[in-house]
Chain A
Amino acid sequence: MSKSYKLSVFVVTIVFSLLVWWGMGLAKEKPFAGITLNILMESISDTDVVEQVLPEFEKETGIKVEIEAVEYMTMHDKLIPQLLAPEKSGTYDFLIVDNYWIGEFVAGGWLIPLDDLIARTPSFNLENYIPSLISQFAQVGGITYMIPFWPYPHGIVYRTDITESPEFQKAYQEQFGRNWREPQSIEEYAEVVKLAGRVTPPEVYGAAMQAARIDPIVMEWLDFLFSMGGDIYDRTTWECIIDNEAGVKAAELYKNLLEEAAQPGVTGADFNERATLFVQGKAVFNIVHTPQMIEYRDPKISRVYDKIRLIPVPKSGLLGCWLWGIQKSSPHPEAAWEFISWVESREIAYKRAMIGAMPAQGWIYEDPAFLEKNPWQTYTGKMIAMQKSVPNVSRSTQVVEIIGENMSAYVIGEISSAREALDKAAKDLTKLIQGDPMLKFLKK
């Protein structure tokens, strides 16, 4: 062999060894590089915010995340076949879970417990979160199945330009015998909404409401029920109490408001139609999932962005929360955890909050910069503390279905009285919860 040949072989060997060594280093730093993670998410502002931080995640880890964003009403149906798939054979690598699916998903044995993954990730700390979100939603029987993503307490949003107008103030004074004040009870809210509908032009309604069948009507009506002191079940005895006096009054009040103050076709209006109506300036009041305030305050979408105010639903209301989870059918559970722990790290969670997301981590609500940018968030902590969620029984979806069917039938007159509708619902709800495996975990 010639000298030059030997030299060439030597150089190639050195270069090759360096490349291998560099590659091994990369592999150690980015153990999941090249993987594409798929997730189904709701088509809403918090998902848009996550999409904005994805390039940073891909750069750091080499993992690509593909988000399939769909309307809320289709999510549960799309997730069920995925959850039933054998281990590691699903299409999605992780998922977001609406809080009232928790009981179903846990009882079905479809989710991977996350405690081991959390223990292996020193940078991740559950204590960053609002404690009630962990105890109510993320943990079942002491096991962590999910990580809070964004809570959605409900609030009342109203048009300050209308409530501060001389016509409204005068009419309010005449009806209530006092100066305008924000409603202190849901009954007072109903009266103020009806007044607003009378004072404004015909094309502006007292309230934008969402009484479409099942999820929309239930999510809105439960604010009335909880605010009036009612509940679906007694959370101690688990007796169904939806048809008690508070329940009947809440149903009657709700129906009355639909008839006298809401937009035409309200019994077909869902979340998006309600929100669109409000941001187009066609209603004075509405009950909102607080994360929708991001759209409401966006000048590109909302005609009322600079003339609205958010207040809590009086006394109580419905609290919901979306959470991250990893299902057993996930093809890449470890890579999925890599994403979840990254997107929920203090740095990225704060970044998302400052872009406009709804934080689940309590410390962010005390940050001056965050509150200065989002003054409406000053009430969020209070709302989360005083509100209730749909109980996390194993068939919570059916709880919502039963209430929705009967309330929808009542508001359109298929069932003539609130008492009859709620008695019918109570009968089915009582049967549904018998022997529910989740009851032993639910805190008294």
Chain B
Amino acid sequence: MKVHLKYLFIIPTLVVLVLVILFPLLYALYISFHEYILIRGIGKFVAFNNYVEEVFFKAESLVSLKNTLVYTGSVVSLELVGAFGLALLLNVRDLKFRNVYLIILMIPVMITPVAVGLMWKLFLNPDLGIVNYFLGLFGVPKRGWFGDPKLAMPTLIAVDVWHETSLILMILVAGLANLHREPFEAATVDGASSLQKLRFITLPLMSPVILVAIMIRMISALKTYDLVYICTRGGPGTKTETLSYYIYKAAFRKLDMGHASAVAYLLLFLILILALVLVKILGRETT
């Protein structure tokens, strides 16, 4: 009786999970093997045709993949380095107003990505934005930022770094706070410098936390859509078109749900593979 009661309590959660996660996943998989233009309804079964076309015959999807990898690699690296530096500063012993600094540094991540995008679009408007205005005071010519093909991707990366560094900072601050003090005290007694302590004690002890932070941030960066939608719509040209934006375009602009679902699954496989690699490394580090 007790056992049956236990399962009864789980059933509502399972129903929600099936409806919200499993059903859409399976339906998307089903669609990805069919021709499906929204205004015409589900068409014939095409097996792996949609996947093959996207990988081998459509240059645009490969460009989106390249953009996604560049974007993800850049934001994760920059945010990790920035957040780690800030975390070390916040971890200084007897630092006054630590909590105040932490709260201020948390503000960006509390702002919704849509608001961040709109805000930075205004700041970076080539003629009316405040950034070009201040740069102009120092004689720097106006930049197109999101409208400049060479600057669009770096600008998007910079905005993302501004927004998301706080997230990694939170994880790293928690990690540093939980490190035991004894290895550091022993190292001090042995005459180790701060740099040596960082290299030989802090980094090795923090490696599991760092890997978790990388994994969390990498997964969300690979799926970036909202900032791209608000700031650049994937342009100029295809300079900032990420895979998520490509999927949105295929589904809602071209109404081609078959191809959109296929690319969505390819993105899912990419995320799974990268996540599994990181989990393996994490497992080794923990051991």
Contacts and interface: CB of A to CB of B under 8 A. Distances in A.
A77 B225 CA distance: 14
Interface stretch (A5-13, A36-44, A274-282, A382-390): A274-282
A263 B126 contact: yes
B128 interface: yes
A281 B62 CA distance: 42
Nearest to B234: A213
Given A203-B127, A414-B237, 9 more contacts: A77-B252, A264-B126, A264-B142, A267-B237, A398-B253, A401-B254, A409-B237, A412-B239, A414-B149
Given A73-B233, A401-B249, A401-B253, A265 B38 contact: no
A412 B237 contact: yes
B255 A265 contact: no
Interface string B140-183: 00111111110010000000000000000000000000000000
B252 A277 contact: no
Interface in A378-406: 394-395, 397-398, 401, 405
Interface centre among B232, B234, B239 (most CB of A within 10 A): B239
B10 to A, nearest CB: 31
B127 A268 contact: no
Interface string A191-207: 00000000000010000
Nearest to B41: A108
The interface centre, meaning the residue of A76, A107, A263, A264 with most chain B CB atoms within 10 A of its CB, is A264
Contacts of B237: 213, 267, 408-409, 411-414
Most buried by A among B39, B232, B238: B39
Interface residues of A, number: 37
B236 interface: yes
29 contacts: A73-B233, A76-B252, A77-B252, A80-B38, A107-B39, A213-B236, A214-B253, A263-B127, A264-B142, A264-B143, A264-B144, A264-B147, A264-B148, A265-B145, A266-B147, A267-B149, A268-B152, A268-B232, A269-B147, A273-B125, A282-B127, A398-B253, A398-B254, A398-B255, A409-B237, A409-B238, A412-B239, A414-B237, A414-B238
Contacts of A108: 38-39
Contacts of B208: none
Interface string A238-276: 000000000000000000000000011111110001001
Interface in B248-274: 248-249, 252-255
A80 B254 CA distance: 12
Interface of B: 37-39, 60, 125-128, 142-149, 152, 232-239, 248-249, 252-255
Contacts of A397: 253-255
B259 to A, nearest CB: 12
A277 B125 CA distance: 10
Interface of A: 73, 76-77, 80, 84, 104, 107-108, 203, 211-214, 263-269, 273, 276-277, 280, 282, 394-395, 397-398, 401, 405, 408-409, 411-414
Given A267-B236, A401-B253, A412 B149 contact: yes
Contacts of B253: 76-77, 214, 397-398, 401
Contacts of A213: 232-237
Given A213-B233, A397-B253, A267 B127 contact: no
B38 A408 contact: no
Contacts of A398: 253-255
A413 B37 CA distance: 31
A300 B232 CA distance: 29
Contacts of B235: 212-214, 267-268, 408
A277 B60 CA distance: 32
Question: Closest 6 CB pairs between A and B?
Answer: A268-B147, A265-B147, A265-B144, A213-B235, A265-B126, A108-B39
Contacts of B145: 265, 268
B120 to A, nearest CB: 12
A120 B39 CA distance: 30
B39 A214 contact: no
Nearest to A397: B253
A269 B121 CA distance: 11
Contacts of A203: 127
A212 B253 CA distance: 16
Contacts of A412: 149, 236-237, 239
B124 to A, nearest CB: 8
A277 B232 CA distance: 18
Contact of B127 (A104, A277, A409): A277
A188 B237 CA distance: 28
Contacts of A282: 127
A214 B233 contact: yes
Contacts of B254: 397-398, 401
A140 to B, nearest CB: 14
A421 to B, nearest CB: 11
B238 A394 contact: no
